[in-house]
Amino acid sequence: MSIWWSLRLRRDAASVPLARRLLLGAMETAGVDPDISYDLSVALTEACANAVEHGGGAARHPSSEAYRVTAYLEGEKCRIEVADEGPGFPAAAGGRAHPPARPAPYDAEHGRGLCLIQELADHVHIDNKPGHSGAVVSFDKILKRRKGAPLMAV
């Protein structure tokens, strides 16, 4: 069984719950264990919140006011990708993106999202879009299914 969807969303806080609800609905339909669904929905929420807050370009053109969310449920794995049109992450030596490596203090209101995504997902890739402005955060998680789930991987 395979499910995928892609959304282009306005960089507005109201768009984040829409992406989360769509993901949770797809997970429910696919019979994914609720704990796994919850972990992925929190990680997605963090990635979308980052795109909303940091994903705008310096120039005010229409593409900088949107971000894209794509989710793939393929067999026993889910991959989610959130891409924005912002300035991206600062470049480190060799030109690779250099996202923050150290988590924010536990009581900080900002700066914990990427670390939270890394804790909740099995594999995380954070980089800048090649040849374009913007950041891409993608993460995978191995799925567990509920007993008696109507849709199973084949």
User: Average pLDDT in the 136-145 region?
Assistant: 94
Spatial separation of the C-alpha atoms in residues 145 and 34, rounded to whole Å = 9
Q: Are 49 and 16 in contact (CB under 8 A)?
A: yes
| Mean of all residue pLDDT scores within the chain | 84
| pLDDT tier at 79, thresholds 50, 70, 90 | very high
- Going by DSSP bridges, is the β-strand pair 2-10/66-74 parallel, antiparallel, or unpaired? antiparallel
